[in-house]
Structure 1
Amino acid sequence: MNTTDLPDQSTTVVVGAGAVGCSVAYHLTELGAEDVTVVDQGPLPVTGGSSVH
């Protein structure tokens, strides 16, 4: 997805699509949230490892 695919507005925005961000988005929808958008940084250069330290 690129920035042109993002919705014009959203009730809830989760910043970060790592394990915690995805879990938060999942649980919000399980609790009834209907308008949740998850955003993350663009592609990382090849680093040979994880971006989490």
Structure 2
Amino acid sequence: MQRRVLAGWGLLVAGLLGYLVGVYVPYPGRAFSLTALMVGIVLVVIGGVPGSGVER
């Protein structure tokens, strides 16, 4: 679970930086910064939710 949260934070920061750079400088693929931002937020939120307590 810890790797999921770390990956989420990494994508969130990279997506935010990519978005901010894309506001000032148009570059190919800048739309992927929004995708990285959204996936990062989801991974951070999902990683912080405790499990149901049932081990499989």
After TM superposition, the score normalised by the length of structure 1 is 0.31
**Structure whose residues are more often strand by fraction:** 1
**Structure whose residues are more often helix by fraction:** 2
After TM superposition, the score normalised by the length of structure 2 is 0.30
* Structure of higher RCO (CA pairs closer than 8 Å, 6+ residues apart): 2
Structure label with greater radius of gyration: 2
